[in-house]
Structure 1
Amino acid sequence: MTNLPAAVLDSLHGLAFGDAFGDRWFGILRREGPAALEARTLPREEVWRWSDDTAQALVLVRELAEGGGAVDQDRLALRLAAAYADDMHRGYGASMHDVLRRIGAGEPWREVVAGQFGGLGSWGNGAAMRAAPLGAWHAADLDAAAGQAARQGAVSHHHPEAVAGAVAVALAAALATRSRGGPAPARPDFLSAVAERLPDGDVRSGVRIAARMPERTSVRHAAEVLGSGYRMSGPDTVPYALWCAAGHLDDLHEGLWFTVAGRGDIDTTCAMAGGVIAARTGVATLPSAWHAAREPLPPLVPE
């Protein structure tokens, strides 16, 4: 993994930490309720396994490495299907089980993804959850970050709001990477800079609302207003995750605890926030217990 840009690796590791940390909380909240979250009780599992969020981000980073930062959609579709076939028990959503099985069986990916949900395509958050390292890769060119994020998103999610969510996360990670070594942008400025490059729609509206929220806004109120992924859609996940990230661009540890407090699709909101924040901070300051607990990432070389 040493041949990849440092910010890309940082973002990928931050995404994986957020994913693995957040994913543990589904079980904790079922067993122990919100008191454990309020007390910030660490997950007790010996290994914090990451989910499909990280599995797909690994595929995307391999694709970027082989393509010099450019996404070959046909190749990416086959890579995603192959990764799914190798380890399909990573928490993939129901529609992605169908999509990736059919692509793996040889069906054209464009027809498969366009046919989802009566021809509307999925507007889920899967295209966005893997996009942060791509933004870190293209931090020097925001147009490229947006364009390549849209290309990779369309491979699995046909709905324009799902693609817009991927673009939003990539832009946020690119902006976070640009700020490395300098002062963190103010939350309203950071989110406004993301929103101004998004197409009109629900994701853009959500990010703009997030940018206008008063500094004193509680995480519970933000989750209620923006949505924290209970509907598992791009518009219902991305604005909240970016709001959390934008308020913690100097503190990955606190940012992940803050994000998980909004409940919802916890592994994915934390993966998005972690990927964005770590593009600026790296992951070295996370507690040693976290580094020991998180499932390692596999060697990251072009396949």
Structure 2
Amino acid sequence: MISRRAAAGYSMRGLALGDAFGETWFRRPVDSVEREIRERRLSPGPWPWTDDTAMALPLLRMLDEDGAVDQDRLALAFANTYDADRDRGYGPSMHRVLREIGEGEPWRAVTSRQFGGQGSWGNGAAMRVAPLGAWFADDLAEAARQAAEQARVTHAHPEAVAGSVAVALAAALAVLGLPSDQLIATVAAHVEDGEVASRLRRAVGIRPVVDPRHAAAVLGCGLQISAPDTVPFAIWCAARHLDDLHEALWATASAGGDVDTTCAIVGGIVAGRTGLTGIPDAWTTAAEPLPGWLTHLT
């Protein structure tokens, strides 16, 4: 069995690959996307990654250097990453949040006042967290706690936190070798009750043989850019192909929606277990390279 450090590194690579793979579908004519996915015709590249990967990298680097989340330092790292490259597809609210943090405002004040004081329940905290789950796979309680800590730096709403915890636990359980048919129910049992947990419980009853488009019709696939609308479907897709990253990504993309984010989540969950086994060389060549510091993890 590979080390948890290596599993986190592979999870990061899978997340970035899924992100870049999913982003290719936003650069295609809308009327041809469904046909091209069905025929498995891909852009030859390059495939740039988005804010999903851009925010996952400083989170994993913090774990690599310090072994745990420091919220104050992570907020600054996110703001610095954003300031260095704002054209990664950040959502409208994150532009505001990260700009204000970068200007010196306390992150707690910034995030808690979003959306009339509710905080954001977007999928941004979930899209970046899978490598953290792999990192803490030996301690599920700590994986959940750290996932919640990192989520609150940008997303104060409880559903966004629940989405982050769910993805981290799915990634941890995948690394631990939990069978596919147990993954979703186990995650649901450990997520605080709410809309994310409710949709996870609904996902338990959707059989793996069901077309992902039908699962998306029940669970959502990120069109609302919210954690409840994104995370349960992504975890269902990951569980459906927990030992096959290549098929997991194609299945996820076939439903449409927020494809870069759903594929990033699925890639991060599955690759921590499988590595990049089965991924065509052409995909890894087309995808935007990751920073060199990541090499020592895998």
Shorter-chain TM-score category?
A: over 0.9
Offset at residue 32 of structure 1 (A): 2.4
Match of 1:96 among 85, 94, 97: 94
Aligned to 1:296, the other structure's residue is in SS state: coil
Query: Are the aligned partners of 1:20 and 1:294 in contact in 2 as well (CA < 8 Å)?
Result: yes
- Counterparts of 1:254 and 1:275 in 2: how far apart (Å)? 14
Aligned AA (1:118): G
- Describe how 1:66-81 pairs up with structure 2 within 5 A: 66-68=65-67, 70-81=68-79
Q: 2:209 aligns with which of 198, 216, 222?
A: 216
Partner of 1:294: 287
Q: Give the match for residue 9 of structure 1.
A: 9
- 1:29 CA displacement: 4.4
Give, in whole Å, the separation in 2 of the partners of 1:137 and 1:109: 25
Q: Which runs of 5+ in 1 are unaligned?
A: none
Q: Is the CA contact (8 Å cut-off) linking 1:4 and 1:65 kept in structure 2?
A: no
* Partner Cα distance (1:241, 1:81) in 2: 27
What amino acid does structure 2 have at the position aligned with 1:77?
Answer: A
Q: Could you say what secondary structure the match of 2:48 adopts?
A: coil
Q: CA deviation at 1:31?
A: 6.0
Aligned residue for 1:5, secondary structure, equals: helix
* Cα distance in structure 2, aligned partners of 1:300 and 1:221: 40
CA distance in structure 1 between the aligned counterparts of 2:244 and 2:40, rounded to whole angstroms: 16
1:135/1:169 contact within 8 Å kept: yes
Match of 2:233 in 1: 240
Contact 1:232–1:265 (Cα < 8 Å) also in 2: yes
Bigger proportion of residues as helix: 2
Unaligned residue ranges in structure 2 (runs of 5+):
none
Contact 1:15 1:274 in 2 (8 A): yes
* Aligned residue in 2 for 1:107: 105
Q: CA RMSD in A?
A: 1.3
Cα distance in 1, alignment partners of residues 47 and 30 from structure 2: 17
TM-score (norm 1): 0.94
1:169 alignment counterpart:
167
Q: Find 1:147's aligned residue among 145, 148, 151.
A: 145
CA contact (8 A) 1:58 1:300 kept: no
State the secondary structure of the residue aligned to 2:28: helix
Matched residue, 1:225: 218
Per the TM alignment, residue 10 of structure 1 is displaced from its structure 2 partner at its CA by 0.5
The answer to whether the 8 Å contact 2:4/2:137 transfers is no
Distance 1:148 1:28 in 2: 37
CA deviation digits over 1:139-197, x for unaligned, max 9? 00000000000000000000000010000000000000111xxxx6133x110000100
Q: TM-score by structure 2 length?
A: 0.95
State the partner residue of 2:40: 40
Give the structure 1 partner of residue 27 of structure 2. Answer: 27
Q: CA deviation at 1:27?
A: 1.8
Identical columns (%) = 57
Task: Write out per-residue CA displacement over residues 111-149 of structure 1, whole angstroms, 9 at most, x where no aligned residue.
Answer: 000000000000000000000000000000000000000
1:207 deviates by 0.8
Task: Say if 1:53 and 1:271, in contact at 8 Å, map to a contact too.
Answer: yes
